[in-house]
Amino acid sequence: GDSVTQMEGPVTLSEEAFLTINCTYTATGYPSLFWYVQYPGEGLQLLLKATKADDKGSNKGFEATYRKETTSFHLEKGSVQVSDSAVYFCALRSNFGNEKLTFGTGTRLTIIP
Amino acid sequence: DTGVSQNPRHKITKRGQNVTFRCDPISEHNRLYWYRQTLGQGPEFLTYFQNEAQLEKSRLLSDRFSAERPKGSFSTLEIQRTEQGDSAMYLCASSPNRGHQETQYFGPGTRLLVL
């Protein structure tokens, strides 16, 4: 079945550091890929998405590129801020008419000033 | 606020009791989803509605769980004879019916604790 493997956390970085959170997936065909973020006390929010190979999703300075050859969708940001502290979830949705999202376990990110 | 709303936000119950959660999706969103999230894990899919029709159910949805969306608007998730293993965050999401690529918008969740 479909699965998502995410970089284990927690991750602690200093402000303005470069961020990478690794995500790899297993799925049949060409799934759509997502990064969701959960800020403290809030619900899950879509951060970015990519629906086909080589697509780059971007939002709020975050980027992720859909790499079919390595089945990866790593999240990056060039300069993190304290306000980026949250839990980040990588997810996929199959393109075989199945509507469910399959999530990774989440990576807790803490940015210290 | 026109986002997905869920009630109650927190529920504490004793083992063996029944509980019911409500989800109000974003207005005009035809699709509605329920997920369960346990501590330290990502959300796991439970079930999905398109309008009032329940189209998918996960194996996680045992016989003690039932979900309804009677008029294609709000949805309820009922757990009968709760067990301690049911303690989790129950998330609802909705999306418009404009194709397969539509984003799912999540509510804040209902946190259930079974004593």
**A45 and B48: CB-CB below 8 Å?**
no
Judging contacts by C-beta atoms under 8 Å, the chain B residues touching residue A104 are 42
**A43 and B48: CB-CB below 8 Å?**
no
Query: How much is the pLDDT for A16?
Result: 96
CA distances from B67 to B21, B54, B64, B87 (A): 9, 8, 10, 17
Does position A72 have pLDDT exceeding 70, yes or no?
yes
CA distances from A74 to A23, A29, B33, B74, B77 (A): 5, 19, 26, 35, 34
Rounded distance between C-alpha atoms, residue B38 and residue B32, angstroms: 20
Does position A45 have pLDDT exceeding 80, yes or no?
yes
Q: What tokens appear for B19 in the block?
A: 């509980």
Query: How much is the pLDDT for B2?
Result: 77
Nearest to A105 among B3, B41, B58 (CB): B41
Rounded distance between C-alpha atoms, residue A31 and residue A46, angstroms: 16
Residue segments in chain B with a per-residue pLDDT below the cut of 70: 1, 98-101
Query: For the residues A103-112, what does the mean pLDDT come to?
Result: 96
Query: How much is the pLDDT for A55?
Result: 95
**Banded pLDDT at A36 (limits 50, 70, 90):** very high
Query: How much is the pLDDT for A83?
Result: 95
**A98 and B56: CB-CB below 8 Å?**
yes
Query: How much is the pLDDT for A30?
Result: 85
CA nearest to B78, candidates B69, B67, B70: B67
Query: How much is the pLDDT for A61?
Result: 97
